[in-house]
Amino acid sequence: MKRNINTGNKLRMVLVMVISAMLFHSCEKWIDPDINQNPNQPADVTMEALLPFIEAGMAFRLAGGNEVVNVQAVWLQQFDGVDRQSLAFANYVYNPLEAFYIWTDSYAEMLMDSRILREKAAQLGSPHNHGVAGILSAFALGQLTDAWGDIPWSEALQGAGNPQPVFDSQESIYLAIHELLDHAIDSLAKEQDPYGIKGDYIYSGDPQKWIRAAHAFKARYFLHLSKRKGSQAYLDALDAIPDAFTDNHDDMQFNYGTGQGESNPLYQFMRDRNDVRMGAYFIDLLKNTEDPRLAVYAYPDGQGNYTGSVAGQANDQASTPGPAVASPESPSYFITYAELLFIRAEALLKTGGDEAQVKIALEEAVAASLEKLGVNDPEWLSGYRGKIAGMTGETLFAEIMTQKYIATFYQPETYHSWRRTAYPVIPPNPNGLIGEIPRRFLYPTSEQVYNPNVPTGISLTDRVWWDE
Amino acid sequence: MLMVVNSSNGQQLVSGKVIHAETGQPLPGVNILVENTTIGTVTGTDGAYSLSLPAGFRRLIFSHMGMITREISPGEDEASLDIAMEPDLLMMEGVVITAIGIPREQKALGYSVQELPGAVFRQVHHDNFINSLSGRLAGVNIVGSSGSAGASSYINIRGATSIDGNNQPLFVVDGIPVSNYAGYQVVNGVDMSNRAMDLNPDDFAAVSVLKGGAATALYGLRAANGAIVITTKKGKHTPGDKISASFRTALSFERASRLPPLQDRYGQGIFGSWGSGMPVSWGPRLDTCSYSVQPEDWQFPRYDADGAVVGMNHPNATGEPARSYDPYEFLQTALSQQYAIDLSGGSEAASFITSASYNRSEGIIPGNLWKRVTFRLAGDASLSASFKIFGSANYIHSGGQRMQKGSNTSAVMLGLLRTPASFNNAAGYELPDGSQRNYRHGSGYDNPYWSVEKNQFTDDVDRLIGYAGFNWFITRWLTLDYRIGIDYFTEDWKNYFAKGSAENPDGSVWLRDYQQRDINSDLMLRAEHKFGEKWTTSLMLGHHLFETYAHELSGTANGLALPGFYHLVNASDIAATEYITRVRRAAYFGILEADYDRMIFLTLTGRNEWSTTLPANANSFFYPSASVSWIFTELEPLNRLSFLSYGKLRFSYAQTASDALPYLTRTGFTSYPVTDRYSTRLNFPLLGQTGFTLSNTLGSEDLRPEKTNTWEIGTDLRWFGNRLGIDFTWFSRKSQDILLQVQVSGTAGYYTRYMNAGEMTSEGIELALGLKPVSSTAWLWDAFFSFTRINNEVTRLAPGIDAIALGYVGSILAAREGYPYQSFFGYDWKRDKEGNVLIDDDPGSPSYGFPMGDYDSLVYEGKFNPDWILGWSNSISWKNLSFSFLLDLKVGGKVFNGTRGSLYYFGSHADQESREPDDLVVFEGVKQSDGSPNDIEVVMGANWYFFGEGSTFTGPDAPYIEDAGWLRLREITLSYRLEREQLGNSRIGLLNLFITGRNLLLFTPYSGIDPETSLFGSSNVQGFDYYNMPGTKGITIGLEMMF
């Protein structure tokens, strides 16, 4: 048979081979490993790139914010939830799914980034950054353990090396907090730091202020153990106070901006969801004492009055949280000078101090709170002096704690003080799912799924170790 | 035209006529190809053809969609050759397009392939052609995500292979993979498209679905979940070099098929009293109420258009009975139009086709719109008898306007259904001061009329899919094929919220520009050799290159200064992000085919692939497949069985592999906003500083490719001449080393850890049964059944991890060890050991007489995937009239009805019409204290639904996991068809008028909208209904003409 199409076959074969060879050769270059270098993420960053994210995260979500402090404020009837999750909180329903984000981000972002910052600072020789990261870690650990009790720390943040860290006892977490703070104080006391603290929203890189904040935290966390350690806790707290803040300007706070994406979390929450109102208990407390802070703690309601919603009644016509806490620029407070003064008043009283001195301390604390909020009122203060003049013993103690409850409005410390001292006496929401105000947060569902070490059978009425 | 076959000696002219073996009618459009050449032609409307057969070539292949392919070698002197072609009931013997665009005889395949003719996609109106596959394919489950115009569809072939990665098949057009990218398949936002729906179904000649590993092994890792292989219409050489044309238009009307039932007896308020602005419908019985328009009662006339709702006996009552409003009057009848035209033609040496189409679909939500415009030009030219070039260019413009959905305070259905019956959303959505009028005094949720008017989401896609290549028949036994394709598209979104909208009260603008470019190159060298008379072998070696590059730019502006001006400059707070993805792969592959006497067919394939996403030391991987097909009816004496006309056994084994996601071989740093659980946020850069955080996903240098092994056994049988055909397949599939983002406890310092961890098995049967109960020259009745049953189990996850959440809204959809993939987990009622619900019988408790939520552990609540699916399509024709319908039965499978669960809180669901003190009910269960049957009578009112645990907001989610099975009349079509002869030999070759109904009947135990719905679109997170846009039913009227 004739094969007339086959002419030039050899030439064609050569062509095929050349084309094939060209393609096959390019294969090596085509699979260039550099293509998998992530163009969207730097492989490493500087210390000053880490600190802003840590501070902003903690300020927005632990010191202030809607996932911990807001819940606590609803439980303690500074607020009342009128819709959605906030309404559930007011009825003592806490879906463990709610805890997922704050729990996870506290570790995976705030504490993890703090750890990286500390490691980087140690490696590079930057004691000040090391100290700052330690203080921030201590604060976050404090917030987490006070809400959840036992939490992971000694085995936490080890990535693939240990995906299921054990839960450390709250007692050991408290030891770790003080160790972090002590270490930070030492580091920050070092005179030389070739890097300096950069990217610091809170204290603009001033190591002395950070040292004072560390002492302030020490006072707070000593005090938290009052139920456990009795007078020793108070004595320890008193010891820490002199090296801590000296006036309101030392407050460890985060100042927000006015822009939408740089504003206070409660402001954003009210703007977007509008789910809480002022609690009737709190509003009435302020109204009954004609407290000048009322005007900054709450906005007038639609009728121009200051009203609160009775716990669980979901009265959305009541006043909304005011400019001190819910304007775009309302700061989030990590710890304040006023709180320290309340610690001092309480500790003095509880260590058998002269009640006259205690009252002076209390008045100073209240005055500091007024001043901080820009509602200085000497007349009201002198009236207040008269009001507390006759108080003694338990009445005085209750007054200190009630005033602290007012001064630390929408701050983390409110809930912890109340759990320690049971003051002020707040009647629980009678329609609540449980018959008392919750004593703790529930571990997130994710933890139950991903970490078998999580304590089980926990309910909202269980108490954390220092609250027992 | 171009030069033709070389006219050397020995050329032989063959001509003849092709007819339908059963009806005797001429068969137009039959492809006739000279084997191993580019030479071919097509029959004209009278079935006639003529062709020059070059010297040395003998074998002619006659093929036609739906007919059994015939191969005939005319004798040396034979000039006239008339043939009759038999219809192919189940497409068992025809030529189907397999991997890499290789046409293969169905009988040679050792695995299951199902092919659908292009006409299937043209009778029913779907924006998304994937929906036309529903009920027609065995082993395939399809979920149209929503009735919204332009919404995506989820397609699942033989269960899942990946846990958190892609489970969608590869889409291939004429041998070129095209992107089915589906961004923004989220719980809130809008119903978004999947990019495969850009394709114009009027361009389809046929669609084959490759299911198993053996079928897809040659596509490599992208086809690990099967492949949808589309062959487009081609230009044809017809006698007389005539130009053919076709035109189709269709008009559709659609309405919501099912809607959540609502109560209209009680109005806005709480404790039985009316309350203006209150979020819930626990107010008064409206039939006891009237209105007051006195200022002391009517405090909020801006919101309460009718007046304040007061009791009939109220001193200020006007006496006018309080009204209730039907929220569903908001929905509209959606009108859609489709137009498609194509022109084609060719000579012996070259051919072309060009087409254009326009589709404009409205949604039932006012304002929702999706449009698609396509243009296509494709052609080929034989430069010589042995060398053909071809190419195609397809331009697509698509996009539309989409409305807010789902878990989103501006979502249309959410605002609509939560509105108390006493509040009239239609009485105006905007107040004179520009603020919003809604039932919660401007806060809460958007009035749906506001949302569709003020909050816009537009998407704009420009896409070019092109390819070019050649076929070179180098010698009689050697061919070289090359094809390079590009798929480039830009997908631009603009989403804005007006000031005063619930989701973004200060107004916002979100711009997102996305571009993607995929390049595919395939070179294939194919050699064929015959050993003796009986053995034919062929070997193909190939080389493949692939690159995908994507670039996404996104800008968000919050807090608009000027109202109504939606531009990035008009904001105080602007955040921008950028994301780049680049992945490359390369592969060598080979196929060895051997057949013995056209009775036993053996195919071996192997592919070695390289991918840039894997660590350099593990980026090369090989996977093989083997398949056998045995036509046992070719064997003596089986070939003499009168009742069994065709029988085939097939068997295959295949391995497929997948690579990793890009950029996860290590862990970097990233910057994003600090965001809390309520989506309030701090953007970075913040107050003048940048901020970075360690990535939440822990990468690994130890990644390996994941592998799936599939075994498949099947048989194709045809009985009683051509009257009954059965195609049965059993498969078993095991995926190992599945790469997944293992969620870890955040306390380890990460959210997720990317690793090879999972293992999953699927096993199933697929049965396709074709039946021809009646076949005469006037009457034809074809029935076709497709049955699918797939059992899937997640057999292993990462060490210490027994579940991975895929997504949640109230309930969690997860992959959990020992359970089917995509199972629901959540909280249930407290139960005793026997599973009885425990009822609180403590008279002092607020939940006295009610069940109690058990929040101690997450329990299994059922699986999303159905137990089995049965599709039954019928086509009955009598002369020019034909009638067809498709019934779709789905048994099992759950959907989380979060709409009902949360409406319970609001008191607006129809289940809540009985709440008076004498509306006593007894919960089924046993008393907690002593286990005796519960007999405590309770009223299910606000005490339960709002203050108690009777809603998803306040209680467990298990009560809202519902059976989502169905029986539906998916399609029903009546068409009238006239051929050229009947039209008096006019210029019109064919005229087809049709009317089609879609989803006209739907029976389901599901209590909400059509349970074929997916809040998360075509992502793996299936089975959620939370204020989803309702599915639709509709009628299409159409006209098809050919010239």
Torsion angle defined by CA atoms of residues B252, B255, B257 and B261, in that order, rounded to the nearest 10 degrees: 180
Give the closest of B677, B749, B953 to A67, CB-based.
Answer: B677
**Two tokens, residue A181:** 């703070």
Give the closest of B279, B547, B751 to A108, CB-based.
Answer: B751
CB contact under 8 A, B684 and A93: no
Q: Which residues on chain B are in Cβ contact (under 8 Å) with A4?
A: 6, 8, 10, 55-56
Q: Which of A22-31, A387-396, B825-834 has the lowest mean pLDDT?
A: A22-31
**How many alpha carbons fall within 13 Å on the CB side of residue B309?**
31
Q: B138-158 burial string, b = 16+ CB within 10 Å, else e?
A: bbbbbbbbbbbbbbbbbbbbb
Mean per-residue pLDDT, A158-169 = 94
Q: Please, what is the Cα angle at B328 between B322 and B334, to 5 degrees?
A: 150
Find which of A449, A451, A460, A462 to mutate to test the B interface (most B CBs within 10 Å of its CB): A449
Torsion angle defined by CA atoms of residues A221, A227, A229 and A230, in that order, rounded to the nearest 10 degrees: 110
- Environment class of B332 (CB within 10 Å of its CB; exposed 0-12, middle 13-18, buried 19+): middle
B971: closest CA among B407, B132, B379?
A: B132
A465 contacts chain B (CB < 8 A)? no
Residue B10, CA distances (Å) to A3, A59, A424, B180 in order = 11, 90, 110, 49
B505 contacts chain A (CB < 8 A)? yes
What pLDDT does A2 receive? 39
Q: Which of A16-30, A53-67, B836-850 has the lowest mean pLDDT?
A: A16-30
Helix (H, G, I), strand (E, B) or coil at B907: coil
Q: Which of A383-387, B706-710, B977-981 has the lowest mean pLDDT?
A: B977-981
Report the run of H or E that residue A182 belongs to, with start and end: helix A170-189
Which residue is associated with the tokens 């078993």? B732
Mean per-residue pLDDT, B575-590 = 93
Confidence of residue A21 (pLDDT cuts 50, 70, 90): low
Q: What is the DSSP code string of A145-170?
A: HHHHSSB--TTTT-GGG-SSPPPBPH
Report d(CA B74, CA B55) in Å as an integer: 13
Mean per-residue pLDDT, B306-332 = 95
Which residue is associated with the tokens 């990218």? B181
Torsion angle defined by CA atoms of residues B37, B38, B43 and B49, in that order, rounded to the nearest 10 degrees: -60
What pLDDT does B72 receive? 84
B516: closest CA among B182, B281, B266, B284?
A: B182
In one-letter notation, the amino acid at residue B320 is: E
Count how many pairs of residues, chain A against chain B, have C-beta atoms within 8 Å. 306
Torsion angle defined by CA atoms of residues B933, B935, B939 and B942, in that order, rounded to the nearest 10 degrees: -30
CB contact under 8 A, B858 and A445: yes
Which residue is associated with the tokens 């005796």? B932
Mean per-residue pLDDT, B720-745 = 90
Helix (H, G, I), strand (E, B) or coil at B1011: coil
- Residue A5 in this model has a pLDDT that exceeds 60: no
What pLDDT does A9 receive? 63
- Residue B314 in this model has a pLDDT that exceeds 60: yes
What pLDDT does B822 receive? 96
Mean per-residue pLDDT, A165-179 = 98
User: Are the C-beta atoms of B487 and B195 separated by less than 8 Å?
Assistant: no
User: Are the C-beta atoms of B805 and B744 separated by less than 8 Å?
Assistant: no
What pLDDT does B91 receive? 61
Which parts of B363-477 are beta strand (E)? 369-384, 387-402, 456-475
What pLDDT does A22 receive? 64
- Residue B313 in this model has a pLDDT that exceeds 70: yes
What pLDDT does B490 receive? 98
Q: Does the global pTM surpass 0.90?
A: no
**Two tokens, residue B720:** 């009683």
B800 contacts chain A (CB < 8 A)? yes
What pLDDT does A26 receive? 62
Q: Which residues on chain B are in Cβ contact (under 8 Å) with A113?
A: 693-694
Which distant-in-sequence residues (6+ apart) come within 8 Å of A264 by Cβ?
Answer: A64, A256, A325, A326, A327, A328, A329, A330, A331, A332
**Two tokens, residue A311:** 């716990």
In one-letter notation, the amino acid at residue B125 is: H
Q: What percent of chain B has pLDDT over 70?
A: 98
User: Are the C-beta atoms of B174 and B101 separated by less than 8 Å?
Assistant: yes
Report d(CA B383, CA B478) in Å as an integer: 18
Most confident among B133-142, B509-518, B804-813 (mean pLDDT):
B509-518
Give the closest of B676, B800, B801 to A101, CB-based.
Answer: B676
User: Are the C-beta atoms of B753 and B697 separated by less than 8 Å?
Assistant: yes
Residue B342, CA distances (Å) to A161, B374, B811, B908 in order = 62, 11, 49, 52
Tell me the ipTM for this assembly: 0.93
Residue A412, CA distances (Å) to A146, A295, A463, A467 in order = 9, 21, 17, 16
What pLDDT does B10 receive? 53
Which distant-in-sequence residues (6+ apart) come within 8 Å of A249 by Cβ?
Answer: none
- Residue A299 in this model has a pLDDT that exceeds 50: yes
- Residue B921 in this model has a pLDDT that exceeds 60: yes
Report d(CA B757, CA B542) in Å as an integer: 32
**How many alpha carbons fall within 13 Å on the CB side of residue B286?**
21
Helix (H, G, I), strand (E, B) or coil at B411: coil
CB contact under 8 A, A261 and B545: no
Mean per-residue pLDDT, B878-904 = 95
User: Are the C-beta atoms of B483 and B469 separated by less than 8 Å?
Assistant: yes
Q: Which residues on chain B are in Cβ contact (under 8 Å) with A457?
A: 856
State the smallest CA–CA distance between residue B990 and chain A in angstroms: 41
Q: pLDDT digit string (tens) for A442-456?
A: 999 888 878 999 999
**Two tokens, residue B19:** 């007819």
- Residue B319 in this model has a pLDDT that exceeds 90: yes
What pLDDT does A10 receive? 66
CB contact under 8 A, A431 and B856: no
In terms of CA atoms, which chain B residue is nearest residue A459?
A: B856
- A contact residues 233-272, partner B, Cβ 8 Å cutoff: 256-262, 265, 268-269, 271-272
User: Are the C-beta atoms of B420 and B443 separated by less than 8 Å?
Assistant: no
Q: Which of A91-100, B261-270, B714-723, B1030-1039 has the lowest mean pLDDT?
A: B714-723
Q: pLDDT digit string (tens) for A325-370?
A: 999 999 999 999 999 999 999 999 999 999 999 999 999 999 999 9
Which residue is associated with the tokens 């070259």? B350
Most distant pair of Cα atoms in chain A: their distance: 127
Cis peptide bond N-terminal to B295, omega within 30? no
Mean per-residue pLDDT, A125-139 = 98
Q: What is the DSSP code string of B480-539?
A: EEEEEEEEEEEEEEEEEE-TT-SSSTT-EEEEEEEEEEEEEEEEEEEEEEEETTTEEEEE
- Residue B855 in this model has a pLDDT that exceeds 90: no
B952: closest CA among B909, B990, B1003?
A: B909
Mean per-residue pLDDT, A223-230 = 96
Mean per-residue pLDDT, A87-116 = 94
Mean per-residue pLDDT, B34-40 = 76
What pLDDT does B89 receive? 66
User: Are the C-beta atoms of B971 and B842 separated by less than 8 Å?
Assistant: no
CB contact under 8 A, B580 and A39: yes
- Residue B6 in this model has a pLDDT that exceeds 60: no
Mean per-residue pLDDT, B563-583 = 90
- Residue B729 in this model has a pLDDT that exceeds 60: yes
- Residue B778 in this model has a pLDDT that exceeds 90: no
State the smallest CA–CA distance between residue B904 and chain A in angstroms: 13
Q: What is the DSSP code string of B671-712?
A: ---EE-TT--EE-SSBTTB---EE-SEE--TT---EEEEEEE
Q: What percent of chain A has pLDDT over 90?
A: 86
**Two tokens, residue B496:** 């804005």
Q: What percent of chain B has pLDDT over 90?
A: 67
User: Are the C-beta atoms of B92 and B79 separated by less than 8 Å?
Assistant: no
- Environment class of B939 (CB within 10 Å of its CB; exposed 0-12, middle 13-18, buried 19+): middle
What pLDDT does A27 receive? 65
In terms of CA atoms, which chain B residue is nearest residue A1?
A: B56
Mean per-residue pLDDT, B472-493 = 92
CB contact under 8 A, B545 and A26: yes
Average pLDDT over all residues of chain B: 91
What pLDDT does B66 receive? 74
State the smallest CA–CA distance between residue A102 and chain B in angstroms: 7
